[in-house]
Amino acid sequence: MNRKERIILHIDVNSAFLSFEAVHRLQHGATVDVRKIPSAVAGSQATRHGIILAKSLPAKAYGVKTGEASWEAKQKCPGIVLIPPDYPLYMCCHRALVRLLKDYSDKVQVFSIDECFMEAPGMLMKEESIRFAHRIREHVRQELGFTVSVGVSTNKLLAKMGSELKKPDAVSTLFPPEVGKKMWPLPVEDLYGVGRAAAAKLHRYEIHTIGDLAETDVKLLSYLFKSYSRDHGQMLWEYAHGVERSDIMTSGPPTKSIGNSCTVHFDVEDRETAHAVLLSLAETVGMRLRLANLCGRVIGVSIRKSGDLVTYSHQVKIQSSIDCTDAIYEYCRRLFDAAWKGEPIRGLGVWVNDLSSSGYIQLSALEKDWDEKKKVDRTVDAIRAKYGPFSIVRGNFVQSGLAPLAGGAGGDAGFPVMTSIL
Amino acid sequence: MKFTCSQKKFLESILTVQSAVSTRSNIPALEGILIETENDVLKLVGSNLNLSIESHTSATIQKEGSIVVPARLLTEIVRKLPDAEFEFTVLANNNVKITCLNSIVTLQCFSADEYPALPDIAESQPIEINKTLLIDMIRQTTFAVAVDEARPILTGALLEIDGKDVAMVCLDGYRLALRRGVMDTPHDSVRVIIPGKSLGEIAKILPEDDRKVSITISERHVLFDLGYTRIISRVLEGEYINYSQIIPEDYKTRVKVDTRILTSSMERASLIAREGKNNLIRLNIQDQKMLITSNSEVGQVYEEVPILLEGEELEIAFNARYFMEMLKVIDDPEICLDFTTNVSPCVVRPINDHHYTHLLLPVRIYS
């Protein structure tokens, strides 16, 4: 590569939750860097969210894995320090990172809480792009205190694959001419877009590395993945060759559905308690809809059984789109009553889809007009925005032992506004 | 089975029954047309179980019998035959031979035994209704049936008969269309809900002449008998919504307006409105005039329509499509729009003819 090109970077925070936590603790006078001892961020066991969300490198050396139960981690590594998650803190760090990146380029795409894509301004030579990436890596570490891995290439796929090549605190290039050498030897499941099911399928056809995939007949792949989406096979084949054409999306994709679910910290066995949990979920979903200026006309409820953890659901399409908490709750209650078979419940979920802008609502002669309740929603939303999510809660949650707002990334912390931002 | 028939007449019959033929069915025979000799005429049947159409046509029958011929192929073949007499013969193993001038086509068909029996409509006193009235009722109401299955009953039209009075009502919640009429011959009071789709097909088949259609209603089906053509539709079971409750009797704002002037203004406003996401038109009702505005990313329209106002001024918004669909079916030169508030239904009626009532729900705008 000896001419100027459009350069895409992928910036990935190393052990994000743990790093955020470590930095926060150090800033508040802690003497121990939790990144340097066996430690992990894990949900609270008391409320049954006890799985490992992020781990330190020393914990990894003991074989602790993301996603396993905390008690398993404790068996492998008895001295492990378990830290409860703090979603508001993570969001704070996330926003600081995005702000910093936007100083370098106005083309920044938030990909997840700890990953961003960005397009370097103007066209750059290879050497220039590497220097640019190092400048960002260095700046993040010095200003924010955590480290990032940066992938440098000419499209989003290769940039993302590139950032995986070396961790932590590193810059790796994966330009198209390097694909054969750097990407093809990797196991096929490392390719973005190859999930567990797809990997199993590919292994059955003796496709084990990304290189194997690149050499497979694209027609076979189209056939194998015809049930996924129209061009999934073609897409995987192109990915294996490092071909990907999408632009940096500075605004997120249009929201298709808004939903929240939660695990209840005891088995729910009666209708009233289930209704209360649905109400707390409806509070969150309604608030997120209104925050995004959306309303929807398909309302759904999912029920997760306690015994086998199997989830089943029920949904309804209604006449007029709604975003009102009471309206959502009313439909959820009816759906739940129609669907629930009486077994103990571990968790519940509520969603709204078939979304449209909430500025205009086609009225219906057959549905209740929720306008009065919507005024209450607006007032409550304003109070919560100013004084925090728990500044005003419904009376029925007081002393009920239930969260007044359930679901969201902040399941534990009960901070519901989070997921709508990503 | 063997007969000869003119290509033209036969094709006409095929096209009549074809709209009821299933395009995809669990019963393969339903993707065909049943052809049966009945004394000295030929009977053709197309059906998808919800709707069945029978058509009769004259033919010279040499040997009685019945057969089911794949509908799509038969239509294409007969359409392409020369305009002449052709001979239709059923051979062994359900093979059919069609001979016309110098062409011979053979087709693999189904035995008539595989064709489901059509519902028996119990003999009861038929309703005699003027054909043009029936066509108008269908045209002026069925566009308002519900398209989604949220309330399946609303995908049908309610046909109400009481003495000489007849009414057809469709509503999807956002609007309601009600067409009343008077029949020449009275009939006992009866209510039936007919799928909107069936009525659409019926309206297509009905030729515009002054003859009467006789309608027979049974528990599960309704039969429209046009003499040479019989249409049987399944009816929707369940309670229809008490629609008269929805139609407000009072108003605070009454607008009298020339239908043609309003329609052309609305058409222009719709052009811009439909480019936007909400397809919205706004009405600003003032003394002597009504302002119609619409805007979207591509531009805006401002229209002034002369009106006669009785009562209060009002600002209100509607879905442009619903408004246009209503205007399209009103034939009267002048209409009257009644409003109460900008979040309650608007009732539209022709000024001199109370046979038609349309109710339209507005769009609530949050700023």
- Residue-wise pLDDT for A130-164, tens only, equals 999 999 999 999 999 999 999 999 999 999 999 99
Cα A151 to its chain centre, rounded Å, is 20
Same domain assignment for residues B172 and B258: no
Tell me, yes or no, if B126 comes closer than 8 A to chain A by beta carbon.
no
- Whether residue A197 is predicted with pLDDT greater than 90 in this model: the reply is no
- What CATH number should be reported for the domain holding residue B294? 3.10.150.10
Domain assignment present for B269: yes
What kind and span of H or E run contains B334?
strand B334-339
Which residues, 6 or more positions from A138, have their beta carbon under 8 angstroms from its beta carbon?
none
- Measured in angstroms, the CA of B22 and the nearest CA of chain A are apart by 27
For all residues of chain B together, what is the average pLDDT? 93
Cα A75 to its chain centre, rounded Å, is 28
Domain assignment present for B218: no
Cβ atoms of residues A38 and A50 within 8 Å: no
Cβ atoms of residues A352 and A257 within 8 Å: yes
Per-residue model confidence (pLDDT) at position B177: 97
Chain A contact set for B342 (CB, 8 A): none
Residue contact B174–A362, C-beta within 8 A: yes
| Dist CA A155 CA B136 (whole Å) | 61
Chain A contact set for B343 (CB, 8 A): 363, 369, 371
| Dist CA B9 CA A285 (whole Å) | 62
Nearest to B361 among A360, A364, A371 (CB): A364
Exposed/middle/buried for residue A267 (C-beta within 10 Å: 0-12, 13-18, 19+): middle
For all residues of chain A together, what is the average pLDDT? 86
Task: Write down which residue in B114, B138, B164 finishes a domain.
Answer: B114
The pTM assigned to this predicted structure is: 0.66
Domain assignment present for B287: yes
Chain B contact set for A357 (CB, 8 A): 277-278
Domain assignment present for B168: yes
| Dist CA A198 CA A232 (whole Å) | 10
Which residues, 6 or more positions from A318, have their beta carbon under 8 angstroms from its beta carbon?
A297, A298, A299, A331, A367, B150
Per-residue model confidence (pLDDT) at position A420: 27
Give me the domain span that covers residue B344: 253-360
Calculate mean pLDDT across residues A346-358. Answer: 89
Task: Write down which residue in B45, B80, B114 finishes a domain.
Answer: B114
Domain assignment present for B171: yes
Same domain assignment for residues B69 and B103: yes
Residue contact A317–B319, C-beta within 8 A: no
Per-residue model confidence (pLDDT) at position B98: 95
Which of the following is catalytic: A5, A68, A115, A164? Answer: A115
Domain assignment present for B122: no
Chain A contact set for B278 (CB, 8 A): 357, 359-360
Nearest to B364 among A317, A361, A366 (CB): A361
Chain A contact set for B366 (CB, 8 A): 358-361
Residue ranges and CATH numbers for the domains of chain A are 1-182 (3.30.70.270), 184-240 (1.10.150.20), 257-397 (3.30.1490.100)
Residue A202 tokens read as 């590919």
> Chain B 238-257, CB below 8 Å of chain A: which residues?
241, 246
Same domain assignment for residues B141 and B56: no
Which residues, 6 or more positions from A145, have their beta carbon under 8 angstroms from its beta carbon?
A23, A26, A27
Task: Locate the DSSP E strands across B196-252.
Answer: 212-217, 221-225, 229-234
For A352, other C-beta atoms within 10 Å of its C-beta total 29
> Is A115 part of the annotated catalytic residue set?
yes
Q: Interior CA angle at B159 toward B157 and B163, to 5°?
A: 170
Same domain assignment for residues B151 and B205: yes
Residue contact A363–B363, C-beta within 8 A: yes
Same domain assignment for residues B186 and B286: no
Q: Cα torsion at A338, A339, A342, A346 (round to 10°)?
A: -130
**Band of residue A253 on the pLDDT scale cut at 50, 70, 90:** low
Q: Say which DSSP state A415 is in.
A: B
Same domain assignment for residues B235 and B280: no
Same domain assignment for residues B103 and B15: yes
Domain assignment present for B87: yes
Kindly report the backbone phi and psi dihedral angles of residue A28, in degrees, each rounded to the nearest multiple of 5, phi listed first. Answer: -100, 25
Same domain assignment for residues B352 and B272: yes
Number of independent structural domains in chain B = 3
What separation, in Å, do the N-terminal and C-terminal C-alpha atoms of chain A show? 35
Same domain assignment for residues B181 and B203: yes
- Whether residue B345 is predicted with pLDDT greater than 90 in this model: the reply is yes
Same domain assignment for residues B106 and B158: no
- Whether residue A48 is predicted with pLDDT greater than 70 in this model: the reply is no
Average the pLDDT over each of A333-347, B120-134, B150-164 and give the range with the smallest value.
B120-134
Same domain assignment for residues B141 and B239: yes
Per-residue model confidence (pLDDT) at position A54: 87
Nearest to B150 among A318, A357, A363 (CB): A318
Average the pLDDT over each of A45-49, A53-57, A231-235, B16-20 and give the range with the smallest value.
A45-49
DSSP β-ladder status, A148-153 and A170-173:
parallel
Cβ atoms of residues A336 and A278 within 8 Å: yes
- Measured in angstroms, the CA of B258 and the nearest CA of chain A are apart by 26
Calculate mean pLDDT across residues A224-252. Answer: 84
Residue contact A360–B280, C-beta within 8 A: yes
| Dist CA B19 CA B116 (whole Å) | 17
Per-residue model confidence (pLDDT) at position B193: 97
Tell me, yes or no, if B341 comes closer than 8 A to chain A by beta carbon.
no
- Whether residue A410 is predicted with pLDDT greater than 60 in this model: the reply is no
**Band of residue A417 on the pLDDT scale cut at 50, 70, 90:** very low
- Measured in angstroms, the CA of B145 and the nearest CA of chain A are apart by 13
For B142, other C-beta atoms within 10 Å of its C-beta total 24
Q: Which residue has the tokens 């979207």?
A: B296
Nearest to A362 among B149, B345, B363 (CB): B363
Residue contact B362–A361, C-beta within 8 A: no
Which residues, 6 or more positions from B19, have their beta carbon under 8 angstroms from its beta carbon?
B46, B53, B201, B204, B205
Q: Say which DSSP state B46 is in.
A: E
Tell me, yes or no, if B351 comes closer than 8 A to chain A by beta carbon.
no
Give, to the nearest 10 degrees, the angle between helix B7-18 and helix B71-80.
Answer: 150
Tell me, yes or no, if A361 comes closer than 8 A to chain B by beta carbon.
yes
| ipTM for the assembly | 0.84
Per-residue model confidence (pLDDT) at position A413: 33
Domain assignment present for B120: no
Per-residue model confidence (pLDDT) at position A419: 30
Task: Write down which residue in B114, B144, B161 finishes a domain.
Answer: B114
